[in-house]
Chains A and B, each alone.
Chain A
Amino acid sequence: MVSTATAEAPQSGRALNPAAEAAANHIEARGLNKTFGSFKALEDIDFTIKNQEFVSVLGPSGCGKSTLLRIVAGLIPYESGSATIKGEAVRAPRPDVGVVFQTNNMLPWLTVRRNVELGARIRNMPADARDAAVDKILDVLSLTKFADAHPHQLSGGMRQRASIGQALVLDPQILLMDEPFGALDALTRDKLNVELLRIWQESRKTVMLITHSIAEAVFLSDRVLVMADRPGKIVEEVTIDLPRPRNAATTRAMPKFGEYVAYLGKVMGVAS
């Protein structure tokens, strides 16, 4: 088992042994409802994401999948039901959860390095630990050469990679990603999918990825949750039984990959 619990502070009085923790559901929603005024955004959402599992939430735009992620991230409240992380009700953003948004969150006046270490500074990580973590992340994301550049000097793909770096620098156990590659062109998106896969295979975080790309969801995930809109609810759950480690050349060429993509396409067509 790969240990990712480096910076993990005890979250509550409840001490779990590592085995129990591994078996525990990291993210769980039960009968979750959310309305904006009279608009029902989410209805009776039920799902669990296990420790170190990669789960994608796939759905058409406006189906409430981003709302779902924001609830899990503790950024917006919900009306009824429950959302829990490691068995604790989500009420506010947590230090063991990293969030990557669709729009990159670079501060234009800071260099790439200062942007990537932002979270570490805000969470008061000691300077030497922070510098080491940032060096490693910049290297992993092939951004070392651009550490002293400013965001507007980078391509969209590089900025998005740096945004992922902002989340990874804190080494969170759980990574929530809201269409992180949604604004990128298809080629850059494919490349970053491969990079994300590599990072995940090395660090084995629990990932919840929001996406509207079927191929992306199949390529990366252990499981795909399909959402329908008005109101947003989960209509299908597909376990992606493709061997790991996956890679760009072979995995996408597998007949089963095509079958999953075709099947999810059919579900989405019906669902949306």
Chain B
Amino acid sequence: MPGVSSRLAAYSQVVLFFGAFLLFWEYGVRYFEVKSYILPPISAIAVAVWEARSEIFENSMYTLAEVLIGFGAAVVVGVMLGMVVYVSPFAQRTIYPLVTALQTTPKSALAPLMIVWFGYGFISKVAMAFLFAFFPIVVATLGGFAGTAKNLEEHFRALNAGPWRTFTTLRLPSALPSFIDGCRVAMPLAMIGAIIGELVGSERGLGNLIMLGTASTRTDLVFGCIIVITLISLALYALIEFAAKSVWWRGIQV
């Protein structure tokens, strides 16, 4: 158990490192006279973000909604498909290879298609977030079910447990740690999907703001958006980590 003082030391190391990094950025670009449309000093970015704060906030919420709905849909459909593939050998032979094939196509290439199908608005970005997040969740769910301990399955058989009871009492809790791992991977991917969708064609959202910033050589605003996207992704990831705490039996073997 690290004590308070050693934890404080660890935090101060992090603060010092990032402080040094930001200082280097701020004074490096001035010292080497880097043009501000290539790399603006960090202070200019902060000013740009502050000045455009209401615009950035509004577009952030828009993108966040795309990500969350796309991710949520990926969880629902992914878990259902994972279950179907697990229980049905037919689905394992037919649907699963299809899903795997879809996974190997670069999903960024599907962005223009999504816009043709669902328009420039909200739905096409939700579809992109869904496409990116979906596969890791299917794989993780399936892996979780398949990883149910064989001795426990036999134990349930010896107790004449029915399929439904075995599913809810044994397989579902067994699969949860793996499912959470899938969410960990899928959540940042959902953000990537939504942003790619917005970059390809959109009317709102942080990706749209980046496109506008690039067109008007507002590199400071572009950097601001990138930083905000990263912060939102980190916050979403932290949310998953928080949820993962309730699945504390991951990796515990008894």
Contact = CB atoms under 8 A, between A and B. Distances in A.
Contacts of A107: 152, 169-170, 173
A213 interface: no
Interface string B158-187: 111100010001100100000000000000
Interface stretch (B68-76, B106-114, B132-140, B246-254): B246-254
A122 B154 contact: no
Main SS of chain A's interface residues? loop
Interface residues of B, number: 18
Contacts of A150: 249
Contact of A101 (B155, B160, B254): B155
B173 A109 contact: yes
A152 interface: yes
Contacts of B152: 105, 107
Interface string B221-254: 0000000000000000000000000000100111
A228 interface: no
B252 A105 contact: no
* Contact-residue size bin, chain A (C-beta under 8 Å from the other chain): 20 to 34
Interface of B: 151-152, 154-161, 165, 169-170, 173, 249, 252-254
A109 B173 CA distance: 8
Interface stretch (A39-47, A92-100, A133-141, A237-245): A92-100
Interface in A145-191: 150-152, 154, 159, 166
B155 A108 contact: no
B252 A108 contact: yes
Closest 10 CB pairs of A and B: A105-B155, A151-B254, A108-B249, A99-B158, A109-B249, A103-B151, A122-B161, A108-B252, A122-B159, A152-B252
